[in-house]
A and B are shown apart, each in its own frame.
Chain A
């Protein structure tokens, strides 16, 4: 039989595990982190200001126009929501499938999910013409008759889908954090830390009862959030699939979007974890090359699913015999936005093929570069779907181009500022690897069960 790979390297003891993982939280940040953080924060502030200006002046600052009614904001919204998928998948689905390797990456993946959804959540709010009236999308009792929302509108389904997803993933993530918060609380030197982490740990004592409840809740939440992995992006895809626009009106969208989402999600996880490994060398023992390799496999697999979707779209367009449909897809490939389409194909389908080679799968620099390309490619996928479908639809007299402005750029890059700021803070204040979940994996694949491993932790 093939012997199991070690999940945790470097013959750790339980204590060492705790020390390693708590170190970033307990030590003061190094120069690298600080420079990263402040540049990210500057970008974040810039983001806030640009949003303010756009809201005060009008959507006209962006490139959206007639006929292209949706642009950067929706594109980037879908992009971030997609990113959010890997987290739930790793933490929930893999958990249910008893994938032990997930433990050391789950925490960060989930964190990324939460932050990505937060980032995404901003866009639907500010992309409206009158953001101060967004609350009209919530069905609440009012003095207008009362006047309700339109439950037939996919945008409304979005409101529910995304908010549910955000809530559940936050709860799931937080519950997972509770025991670790307790650990930090117990190791805390200053009183303040004790208080804060004490409150965060909701009075966790690590008794048997605590643990059994914890396991139960965790299991339940995992079960609860698994369908969400599918539902959210399915519903987001309805925004397009339910409409009557050639290029949007496609039944393949739900699975295609979910696959894409997982694809981009793992792309982002790899990007971040490679950085984490560099930033916190000690984590290399927990987030091992094997972990990365597994994720790269997933990237390649989902990448090919997406590729298949691209192909089948063309087939269906031809097979349907609808001239508008046909034109829409021909126009994607050879129309004015051909460059966007081919960027997408290259980044999402061709480049990940390098992972057929084991050495590539296991090379940090290569996987980092590839993951970046995946992110770019997935942003362009949403751009292609949204913009190139809109810019040429039924009546040629309406055809136009998207009037990209510098504000679009500001919004797009600014959102990364927001995401990174929060993520960097997370790395410093939350245990980036689940101590409680990793410890049981200590002996997986280890040759000798020497007695070195005392029990660390409390």
Chain B
């Protein structure tokens, strides 16, 4: 092989190295890497095809009618079956899904909903604090949407925020009055 070839090959090596270095250190936001590991858009099929669009949207049921826990506790909690039965003892009892629901209820069983919005165990998030923080009693509806999106328009519930730490921090930094930024605010 000629000297020229070797020179080329040598340069090739150098270029690849340069390329790798360049790629890793260039602006990451250009890539979709920003979303890796976060489940934005996660919308699993649920055991019972419950539609928020129907309940919260068309029928204008307040979020807190079912997610009562939000007012008292850290978890917003999936409503217990007896809450569903408030209406569905009578409403839409012809639908197979509802019959399934009633069957479970009277059998004293429960429904294994698939968890959509999931934070790791080392993150402590307090729904109550946030709901009260954001909103006057009349517009709590809006407050929820801040993170959960246009739930009232979703047939299948879907995760719209990345729920990444950066996403939390952004809000804690910007909102007025500012949210606390201690590590122990969320991690302990």
Q: Do chains A and B touch in the complex (CB under 8 A)?
A: yes
Chain A residues with CB under 8 Å of chain B are 140-147, 194-195, 198-199, 201-205
Q: Give the tally of cross-chain contacts (CB within 8 A).
A: 45
Judging by beta carbons under 8 Å apart, are A146 and B6 in contact? no
Judging by beta carbons under 8 Å apart, are B28 and A199 in contact? no
Judging by beta carbons under 8 Å apart, are A203 and B169 in contact? no
Q: For B162, what are the chain A residues with a Cβ–Cβ distance below 8 Å?
A: 143
B interface residues, tally (CB under 8 Å)? 22
In whole Å, how far is B13's beta carbon from the nearest beta carbon of chain A?
8
Judging by beta carbons under 8 Å apart, are A202 and B6 in contact? yes
Judging by beta carbons under 8 Å apart, are B164 and A199 in contact? no
In the complex, chain B residues 1-30 whose Cβ is within 8 Å of any chain A Cβ: 1, 3-10, 13, 24, 27-28
Asked if B113 CB lies within 8 Å of chain A CBs, one says no
Q: Which residue of B lies closest to A191 (CB)?
A: B1
In the complex, chain B residues 41-95 whose Cβ is within 8 Å of any chain A Cβ: none
Q: For A144, what are the chain B residues with a Cβ–Cβ distance below 8 Å?
A: 164-166, 169
Q: Which residue of A lies closest to B3 (CB)?
A: A203
Q: For B1, what are the chain A residues with a Cβ–Cβ distance below 8 Å?
A: 194-195, 198
Cα–Cα, bound, A195→B164 (Å): 50
Known contacts A141-B28, A194-B1; is-contact A202 B166 (Cβ 8 Å): no
In whole Å, how far is B150's beta carbon from the nearest beta carbon of chain A?
24
Q: For B169, what are the chain A residues with a Cβ–Cβ distance below 8 Å?
A: 144-145
Judging by beta carbons under 8 Å apart, are B6 and A199 in contact? yes
Q: For B34, what are the chain A residues with a Cβ–Cβ distance below 8 Å?
A: 143
Judging by beta carbons under 8 Å apart, are A143 and B7 in contact? no
Q: For A142, what are the chain B residues with a Cβ–Cβ distance below 8 Å?
A: 166
Interface of A is mostly: loop
Q: Which residue of A lies closest to B7 (CB)?
A: A203
Judging by beta carbons under 8 Å apart, are A203 and B6 in contact? yes
Judging by beta carbons under 8 Å apart, are A143 and B6 in contact? no
In whole Å, how far is A295's beta carbon from the nearest beta carbon of chain B?
34
In whole Å, how far is A420's beta carbon from the nearest beta carbon of chain B?
28
Cα–Cα, bound, A142→B170 (Å): 13
Cα–Cα, bound, A204→B9 (Å): 12
Q: For B165, what are the chain A residues with a Cβ–Cβ distance below 8 Å?
A: 143-145, 147
Asked if B38 CB lies within 8 Å of chain A CBs, one says yes
Judging by beta carbons under 8 Å apart, are A198 and B164 in contact? no
Q: Which residue of A lies closest to B183 (CB)?
A: A147
Q: For A201, what are the chain B residues with a Cβ–Cβ distance below 8 Å?
A: 6
Cα–Cα, bound, A201→B5 (Å): 11
In whole Å, how far is A221's beta carbon from the nearest beta carbon of chain B?
16
Q: For B3, what are the chain A residues with a Cβ–Cβ distance below 8 Å?
A: 203-205
Contact of A146 (CB < 8 Å), options: B13, B24, B27, B166? B166
Q: For B166, what are the chain A residues with a Cβ–Cβ distance below 8 Å?
A: 142-146
In whole Å, how far is B7's beta carbon from the nearest beta carbon of chain A?
3
In whole Å, how far is B59's beta carbon from the nearest beta carbon of chain A?
37
Q: For B27, what are the chain A residues with a Cβ–Cβ distance below 8 Å?
A: 141
10 smallest A-B Cβ distances: which pairs?
A203-B7, A202-B10, A203-B6, A145-B169, A144-B165, A198-B6, A143-B164, A143-B166, A203-B3, A145-B166
Interface string of B131-164 (1 = CB under 8 A from A): 0000000000000000000000000000000101
Q: For B5, what are the chain A residues with a Cβ–Cβ distance below 8 Å?
A: 198, 203
In whole Å, how far is B3's beta carbon from the nearest beta carbon of chain A?
5
Q: For A204, what are the chain B residues with a Cβ–Cβ distance below 8 Å?
A: 3
Cα–Cα, bound, A204→B1 (Å): 13
Cα–Cα, bound, A380→B71 (Å): 63
Cα–Cα, bound, A86→B115 (Å): 60
Cα–Cα, bound, A433→B154 (Å): 73
Q: Which residue of B lies closest to A205 (CB)?
A: B3
Contact of A199 (CB < 8 Å), options: B10, B167, B170? B10
Other A-B pairs beyond A147-B165, A203-B4, 17, CB < 8 Å = A140-B24, A141-B27, A141-B28, A142-B166, A143-B164, A143-B166, A144-B164, A145-B166, A194-B1, A195-B1, A198-B5, A198-B6, A199-B6, A199-B9, A199-B13, A203-B5, A203-B7
Q: For A143, what are the chain B residues with a Cβ–Cβ distance below 8 Å?
A: 34, 38, 162, 164-167
Cα–Cα, bound, A151→B147 (Å): 34
In whole Å, how far is B127's beta carbon from the nearest beta carbon of chain A?
21
Cα–Cα, bound, A141→B4 (Å): 40
Q: Which residue of B lies closest to A147 (CB)?
A: B165
Q: For A205, what are the chain B residues with a Cβ–Cβ distance below 8 Å?
A: 3
Q: For B167, what are the chain A residues with a Cβ–Cβ distance below 8 Å?
A: 143
Please indicate which of the listed interface residues B5, B7, B24 has the most CB atoms of chain A within 10 Å of its own CB.
Answer: B7
In whole Å, how far is B21's beta carbon from the nearest beta carbon of chain A?
11
Q: Which residue of B lies closest to A144 (CB)?
A: B165
